[in-house]
Structure 1
Amino acid sequence: MASFTASLRSTYRAKLLPTVARTPLQCTCGAVYRRSFATSSSPAASTSTSQAPAQDKLITATRTVLDQAKATNDGGIAAAKRERELDGLRRALADVEDGQELISTLQELADAEPDEELRELALGDLPEATATLASLRSTLLNTLLPPTPTASLSAILEVKSGVGGSESSLFAAELVRMYTRLAVRKGWKASLVEVVGLGGVGQGTGDAYREAILEVTGEGAFGMLRREAGVHRVQRVPATESQGRLHTSTVGIIVLPSETGSSAPIDDDLFDQKDVKVEVMRSRGAGGQVSFLVCGGSHGAIQDSTYCDIG
């Protein structure tokens, strides 16, 4: 801490070099104006002190996770994957510790530094350092949470119009354009896989969609878009409304992970293979070799979810 304080003091003195020959500020009466600093009542200092217990608990929990991971590291692919995940946690912890050390040094300079200009610089940097530390703590907390296995994958969005008729179809098209523009901003690739317009499949004009399937290819697309799943509602006066009445329309969105364009494949441990049951039925008709060659249908089930493919 002493060396860090000395380094910071040297940095502040370097900032003050151009102002060494500066004359003190003078009031109209000729007296030297001195600014008084109340470091004990500084909002940044009190905020940092009140958050100290929470910071200590967060750092202790992070170190516990790192120690447990180090003790259980037995090699192999799973351990290597876990080690990559912990690299970000170590960096986030180091950033928080550096931020705490910076705030402690700034408070020490503000309280005990005899040079008034150095105290002024320290007090000026203290609020910004406190805000930065709060952001770093939030990043550490998010990094400490267990990662979602599919967060780094691409995404497939299925947008379906619901209540509201043609207004719902207009709303669905607007949502598709919104997600497409988001993909462009994020550097992802967005492409329409299927469109069902008001006139049927492939008849979408871009203004109204009854149903649309949008594929967003890019690292982390599913992690950002997965919470968009659900029913979206809009209340507005449609452009087709001549009497100014308020209409309510809904659109349903389903978000699925996709391996397309992603460097991280879907983990095999997302579900237990023992929970998967697949049944194959042969056709039952006229006898002969055809009965043994034609698949009449297949049925699969994962826990409470089922699907059936006939044909």
Structure 2
Amino acid sequence: MLERLEAIHKRYEELSRLLCDPDVLNDAGKLREVSKEQAALEEQNRAYLEYRDVVRQLSEAREMLADKLDEEMRELVKEEVNALTARKEELEERIKILLLPKDPHDDKNVIVEIRGAAGGEEAALFAADLFRMYTRYAERQGWKVELMEANATGLGGFKEVVFSIVGRGAYSRLKYESGAHRVQRVPETESGGRIHTSTATVAVLPEAEEIEVEIHEKDLRIDTFCSSGPGGQSVNTTKSAVRITHLPTGIVVSCQDEKSQNTNKDKALRILRARLFDLKRQEEMAKRADARRSAVGTGDRSERIRTYNFPQSRVTDHRIGLTIHKLNQVLDGELQEIIDALILHEQTELLKRQQEAASPTS
């Protein structure tokens, strides 16, 4: 562990020197690359420096105990040794977490797709609730939300809504949200007061850069049409809406929320690029499924991951058995407790597997 930390520290120092190099400063691409790598090592380097300092202080305190000290001073030094020992153990546990294999996509922005599933209009209304929940969570994190495409219903729900979230580490925190979300409540359209169960699916895709997914014009069929509002109501008489079909995969993306055809096309290409990138990732994960089991589920949209129960004000995440009774706060974007629990669970599982892999077989 210490050898890895020392190597990280040396690389961090090297990157700091590079950030002062005129050749790097004058090359925007290189500067961005070096800055990004250094930022990724920041927390590990800081933990290592603190750990090294605590080890030094602990060694000095133990040396003092070997000297002839009066009783009062000896007790003070013993207290310091105990405190430093406890801090050293805390740092060791933290460093183990920091050294776990990192998802290379964690720092990416995301494109989120929410679709009403079982439950008709009530499912569409729940999809709108989820859209607001993630929008409010993003605001709390200081992230930017951009609506990409929306297929609204007459009652204010969404058959489908697609939006991007731009912010450092967005994927690292939102990737656990992919799957089927279930709501249990009395719908506004229910006159008999019966509780209905509806579902909406969420897909969180890391947004791919152009260099990561190459899209050839010959592989695309681009259609333009007039955009329309709920129920087929015409809202635009010009052909500003764009539908892109990726011929090799059959993936279809359409965007009509903007008045500009070029803007709609750019948004559709961003969504297409994210879906192709996700398709590639899913294929790679399938190839090594035995070696890489997800600690908190597969991320499959059909997998039921969470239930929102209105009568009991309860939110239950089925993957880790977590239940909290503050549904209104969660739907208002207070997702931190749930996401932190999911991250901790995954880290614990990864540590367990590392220890199992490192232990000698009988």
TM-score, structure 2 as length reference: 0.45
Structure 1 residue 278: Cα displacement: 7.8
Match of 2:72 in 1: 116
Match of 1:159 in 2: 114
**Residues in 2 aligned to 1:105 and 1:246: alpha-carbon distance in whole angstroms:** 66
Structure 2 contact 12–45 (Cα < 8 Å) conserved: no
Structure 2 contact 8–41 (Cα < 8 Å) conserved: no
Match of 2:53 in 1: 98
Q: Secondary structure at the match of 1:210?
A: strand
CA deviations on 1:87-114 (whole Å, 9 max, x unpaired) are: 5433332222333445566677789864
Residue from 186, 191, 206 that aligns with 2:141:
186
Match of 1:289 in 2: none
Unaligned runs of 5+ in 2: 14-23, 25-29, 222-243, 254-362
Match of 1:170 in 2: 125
Match of 1:258 in 2: 207
Whichever residue aligns with residue 187 of structure 1, its letter is G
Distance 1:68 1:197, change over 3 A: closer
Structure 1 contact 278–299 (Cα < 8 Å) conserved: no
Structure 1 residue 159: Cα displacement: 0.9
Deviating more after overlay: 167-176 vs 101-110: 101-110
Match of 2:159 in 1: 210
Distance 1:243 1:93, change over 3 A: same
Structure 1 residue 238: Cα displacement: 4.2
Q: Secondary structure at the match of 2:158?
A: coil
Structure 1 residue 136: Cα displacement: 3.5
Structure 1 residue 183: Cα displacement: 1.3
Question: Identity, % of aligned pairs?
Answer: 31
**Residues in 2 aligned to 1:131 and 1:174: alpha-carbon distance in whole angstroms:** 45
Structure 1 residue 251: Cα displacement: 1.4
Match of 2:175 in 1: 226
Distance 1:191 1:104, change over 3 A: same
Are residues 1:198 and 2:182 paired? Answer: no
Q: Secondary structure at the match of 1:179?
A: helix
Structure 1 residue 140: Cα displacement: 2.7
Are residues 1:59 and 2:2 paired? Answer: yes
Distance 1:146 1:120, change over 3 A: same
Bigger Rg over Cα: 1
Structure 1 residue 160: Cα displacement: 0.8
Structure 2 contact 112–203 (Cα < 8 Å) conserved: yes
Structure 1 residue 179: Cα displacement: 1.1
Distance 1:235 1:122, change over 3 A: farther
Match of 2:96 in 1: 141
Distance 1:219 1:110, change over 3 A: same
Aligned residues: 216
Distance 1:87 1:192, change over 3 A: closer
Structure 2 contact 127–159 (Cα < 8 Å) conserved: yes
**Residues in 1 aligned to 2:183 and 2:81: alpha-carbon distance in whole angstroms:** 45
Q: Secondary structure at the match of 1:175?
A: helix
Structure 2 contact 9–48 (Cα < 8 Å) conserved: no
Whichever residue aligns with residue 154 of structure 1, its letter is N
Whichever residue aligns with residue 250 of structure 1, its letter is T
Structure 1 residue 252: Cα displacement: 0.8
Whichever residue aligns with residue 252 of structure 1, its letter is T
Structure 1 contact 161–172 (Cα < 8 Å) conserved: yes
TM-score, structure 1 as length reference: 0.51
Structure 2 contact 114–127 (Cα < 8 Å) conserved: yes
**Residues in 2 aligned to 1:183 and 1:308: alpha-carbon distance in whole angstroms:** 27
**Residues in 1 aligned to 2:251 and 2:85: alpha-carbon distance in whole angstroms:** 54
Distance 1:198 1:299, change over 3 A: closer
Structure 1 contact 229–252 (Cα < 8 Å) conserved: yes
Unaligned runs of 5+ in 1: 1-57, 71-75, 260-265, 283-296
Match of 1:150 in 2: 105
Structure 1 residue 192: Cα displacement: 2.8
